């Protein structure tokens, strides 16, 4: 587990620690039950004053945006690994990365909610990482196409689209919604129609 954040100017040690505590508190609180936790609660759980939360994140959406950004950094790492894995067939490399990314999303309800909020303001924080995601997806999709292993009309931007679809159905096991099956069904649909 390496550092996710490369900040331009190094923060004072206590500030850096507070920042991490705030993000951890947000992930825990927003993840379990309390989808609508207040900033005051996040601050309390992190053991800092509200003002400190606002010093690190200009508003609530910036805080959620950082969760999304860090998630994309991890998504991209999985895609990069798939690109570097020479042993797998192109489609399997792509499918494997999607399975791993889905599994990670499944265990991070807070970020999923932030992703699903659909707020442009939240996503704006992760713009660069989103673009990088598309670049990486392009490589994997291109390879699968050249190998004839992917539906012809499937494009790189369909990768985040179908992943968004699968993530939107996570956390509803009590309704019989099994995202693993959902994902497999989508992967099956991605194969060539021949």
Partner DNA sequence: ACCTGAACACCGTTCAAGT
Picked from DNA, its own copies, none, the partner binding residue 59 (CB below 5 to 8 A depending on kind) is DNA
Backbone φ and ψ of 183, nearest 5°:
-65, -45
Picked from DNA, its own copies, none, the partner binding residue 166 (CB below 5 to 8 A depending on kind) is its own copies
Picked from its own copies, DNA, none, the partner binding residue 11 (CB below 5 to 8 A depending on kind) is DNA
Q: Does 80 bind its own copies (CB under 8 A)?
A: no
Backbone φ and ψ of 4, nearest 5°:
-90, -25
Number of Cβ within 10 Å of residue 165's Cβ equals 13
Estimate to the nearest angstrom the gap between the alpha carbon of 163 and the chain centroid.
Answer: 10
Q: Does 124 bind its own copies (CB under 8 A)?
A: no
Q: Does 94 bind its own copies (CB under 8 A)?
A: no
CB of 26 to DNA, least distance (A): 11
CB of 23 to DNA, least distance (A): 13
| Rounded (5°) CA angle 135-139-140 | 120
Options 1, 8, 13, 175; binder of its own copies; rule CB under 8 A: 175
Picked from DNA, its own copies, none, the partner binding residue 96 (CB below 5 to 8 A depending on kind) is none
Burial of 160 (0-12, 13-18, 19+ CB in 10 A): middle
Say how far apart CA 56 and CA 109 lie, in whole Å. 22
Q: Does 161 bind its own copies (CB under 8 A)?
A: yes
Backbone φ and ψ of 103, nearest 5°:
-60, -40
The site for its own copies (CB under 8 A) is made up of 35, 113, 116, 118-119, 151, 153-155, 157-158, 160-162, 164-169, 171-172, 175-177, 181-182, 185-190, 193
């Amino acid at each position: 587990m390496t550092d996710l954040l490369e900040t331009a100017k190094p923060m004072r040690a206590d500030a850096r620690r507070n920042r991490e505590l705030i993000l951890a508190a947000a992930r825990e609180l927003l993840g379990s039950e309390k989808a609508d936790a207040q900033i005051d609660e996040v601050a309390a759980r992190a053991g800092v004053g509200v003002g400190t939360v606002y010093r690190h994140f200009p508003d609530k959406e910036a805080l959620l945006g950082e969760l999304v950004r860090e998630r994309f950094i991890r998504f991209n790492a999985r895609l990069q690994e798939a690109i570097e894995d020479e042993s797998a067939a192109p489609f399997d490399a792509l499918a494997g990365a999607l399975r791993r990314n889905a599994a990670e999303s499944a265990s991070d309800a807070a970020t999923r909610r932030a992703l699903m909020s659909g707020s442009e303001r939240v996503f704006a924080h992760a713009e660069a990482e989103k673009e990088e995601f598309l670049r990486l997806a392009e490589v994997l999709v291109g390879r699968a196409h050249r190998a004839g292993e992917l539906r012809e009309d499937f494009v790189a931007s369909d990768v985040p689209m179908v992943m968004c679809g699968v993530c939107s159905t996570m956390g509803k096991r009590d309704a019989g919604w099994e995202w693993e099956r959902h994902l497999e069904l989508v992967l099956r649909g991605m194969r060539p129609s021949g």
